[in-house]
């Protein structure tokens, strides 16, 4: 952990509760599902069923979600060699971590990009085109961004130039140092 925030006087550990992540993801998923149901009811189109292709699209979306985190880390100044991908099956969590700290502004960008690109954008596009499956896809991927939203919430009081790093032992913990990295 010391290597993550080199030179930082004592980084704060901020934990995001698994219960809060689950509650946020459920709330986002239910809200998105309600929007998708309204689109389905109002479209006048025959029933659309996703089946296996839809399930495959959602799984691919989850992989793309983590890849977008990695690309956002690179845009925030990280190097490819500093990125680590992981899956915690017992928690049902996939994650990308960076071996060094990024600015709080960069961290927020990293956290928000997948939810906007793969969740919010398809949800809005699905509503605009009255496509139930696109709306539902967006709702599911927005729900998958619940943990990211909670991480952004956890650093809401941190200035944009503070340093934020991942705790390599726990994806629900971030390290915050108020000094610039």
Domain count, the chain: 1
- Report yes or no on 5 lying in a domain: no
Residue 91 within any structural domain of the chain: yes
Q: Is 55 inside a domain boundary?
A: yes
Domain residues for the domain of 55 are: 12-40+51-177
How far is residue 142 CA from its own chain's centroid? 8
pTM, to two decimals: 0.85
Q: Is residue 1 in a domain?
A: no
User: Residue 2 and residue 25: Cα distance in Å, rounded?
Assistant: 31
Domain membership of residue 45 (yes or no) is no
Q: Which residues contact 160 (CB under 8 A, 6 or more apart)?
A: 103, 104, 105
Let me know if residue 6 belongs to a domain.
no
pLDDT tens over the chain, length 181 residues = 444 555 556 788 888 888 998 999 999 999 999 999 899 888 776 666 778 889 999 999 999 999 999 999 999 999 999 999 988 877 777 889 999 899 999 999 999 999 999 999 999 999 999 999 999 999 999 999 999 999 999 999 999 889 999 887 777 788 888 755 4
Task: Tell me if 7 is assigned to some domain.
Answer: no
């Amino acid at each position: 952990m010391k290597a993550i925030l080199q030179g930082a006087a004592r980084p704060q550990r901020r934990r995001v509760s698994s219960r809060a992540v689950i509650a946020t993801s459920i709330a986002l998923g239910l809200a998105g599902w309600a929007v998708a149901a309204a689109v389905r009811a109002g479209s006048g189109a025959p029933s659309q069923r996703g089946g296996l292709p839809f399930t495959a699209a959602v799984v691919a979306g989850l992989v793309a979600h983590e890849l977008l985190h990695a690309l956002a880390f690179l845009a925030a100044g990280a190097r490819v060699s500093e990125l680590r991908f992981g899956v915690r099956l017992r928690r049902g969590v996939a994650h990308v971590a960076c071996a060094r700290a990024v600015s709080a502004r960069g961290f927020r960008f990293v956290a928000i990009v997948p939810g906007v690109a793969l969740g919010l954008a398809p949800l809005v596009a699905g509503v605009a085109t009255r496509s139930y499956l696109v709306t539902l896809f967006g709702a599911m991927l927005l729900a998958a961004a619940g943990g990211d939203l909670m991480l952004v919430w956890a650093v809401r009081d941190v200035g944009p130039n503070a340093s934020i790093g991942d705790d390599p032992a726990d994806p629900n913990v971030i390290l915050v140092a108020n000094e610039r990295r």
